[in-house]
Amino acid sequence: EVQLVESGGGLVQPGRSLKLSCAASGFTFSDYYMAWVRQAPTKGLEWVASISYDGGSTYYRDSVKGRFTISRDNAKSSLYLQMDSLRSEDTATYYCTTDLGWEPDYWGQGVMVTVSS
């Protein structure tokens, strides 16, 4: 059974850091690009970042560039999102997913990040 399980979310003050993790199982993790997608409360979907098979290439939306870092550890079948200098507008549910727009399409259940003082 394929599983993507996110962890590391929570309440954090503006300007502080948080690191999200996503543990994958049930498929060959290293065969796929991976991505983080977020969804602010009652809002739509927003792509955050993507990473290539071996982590050699990374891509970010402009609003997180320089603040967020996507990484992966294929030996541990894990995906990460280091989030620094957090802002209130980063408040959202963050989903770990296989590369967008292709099969196979695997998503985690999402993890909530709330940035507030």
Partner 1 sequence: DIVMTQSPFSLAVSEGEMVTINCKSSQSLLSSGNQKNYLAWYQQKPGQSPKLLIYYASTRQSGVPDRFIGSGSGTDFTLTISDVQAEDLADYYCLQHYSSPLTFGSGTKLEIK
Q: Strand 78-83 to strand 68-73: parallel, antiparallel, or no bridges (unpaired)? A: antiparallel
User: Is residue 50 a contact point for partner 1 (CB under 8 A)?
Assistant: yes
The helix (run of H) or strand (run of E) holding residue 93 is strand 92-98
Taking the complex as a whole, how short is the minimal distance between the CB of residue 73 and partner 1, in angstroms?
23
Angle at 108 between CA 20 and CA 7, to 5 degrees: 30
Closer CB to partner 1, residue 15 or residue 95? 95
User: Is residue 109 a contact point for partner 1 (CB under 8 A)?
Assistant: yes
User: Is residue 46 a contact point for partner 1 (CB under 8 A)?
Assistant: yes
User: Is residue 47 a contact point for partner 1 (CB under 8 A)?
Assistant: yes
Upstream peptide bond of 104 is cis (omega within 30 degrees of 0): yes
Taking the complex as a whole, how short is the minimal distance between the CB of residue 103 and partner 1, in angstroms?
5
How much is the CA Rg of the chain, to the nearest whole Å?
13
Q: Which residues bind partner 1 (CB under 8 A)?
A: 35, 37, 44-47, 50, 59-62, 95, 97, 100-103, 105, 107-110
